[in-house]
Amino acid sequence: MRASFRNLGLRTALACACLAAPWAAQAQSAMPAMKSQGAAQYVCGGIGSDESTAMRAAMKDHPLALLFARAGGAYLANVDVTVMDDKGGTALAMRASGPVCLVDLPAGRYTIQATSNGATKSETVTVGSGSKTADFRF
């Protein structure tokens, strides 16, 4: 009898995993593909509710998250971003195609410059322990 309970538990766990798999796959497919530039990897997106939800859920899994919005709170895309290391070298230069960018960089101190419609904002962050978020409002 004990073996049948074990089999029932195994079948139940397998059924739950099979039922959950489509939602997990859907969350992953909502994420745009990562891009590489030197030692940095990044992904930008967050346009549309599925992609926005997936990007925000993944923020904790990346050392740096960048958020872009207008002063009134509306999300903003097509922001020019330059991330400079503490020696003044460019670690990453890109145009954010969405209001959320997830960035993987080696541990260190970085200065982020974000430019939208001629206005430039700057923020310095230290990457390496936990995830950091830099919020730029224009």
pLDDT of amino acid 19: 41
| Mean predicted lDDT score pLDDT of the chain | 85
Which residue in the block uniquely carries the two structure tokens 């390496």?
128
- The set of residues, in sequence order, having a beta carbon less than 8 Å from that of 18 and lying 6+ positions away, is none
Please identify which residue in the block is written with the tokens 């974000």: 114
- Give pLDDT, residue 18: 42
β-strand pairing of 79-85 with 90-96: antiparallel
| Alpha carbon separation from 1 to 6, 9, 11, 14, 125 (Å, rounded) | 9, 13, 15, 20, 59
d(CA 52, CA 92): 23
In the numeric block, the tokens 């925000």 are attached to: 56
Average pLDDT over residues 7-15: 41
pLDDT at site 107 = 96
> In the structure, what pLDDT confidence band is assigned to residue 29 with cuts at 50, 70 and 90?
low
If one compares 61 and 2, the residue with the highest pLDDT of the two is 61
Looking at per-residue confidence, does 30 or 2 come out higher? 30
Q: What integer pLDDT is reported at residue 129 of this predicted model?
A: 87
Which tens digits make up the pLDDT trace of 124-134?
Answer: 999 998 999 99
- The CB density around residue 70, as the number of other CB atoms within 10 Å, is 13
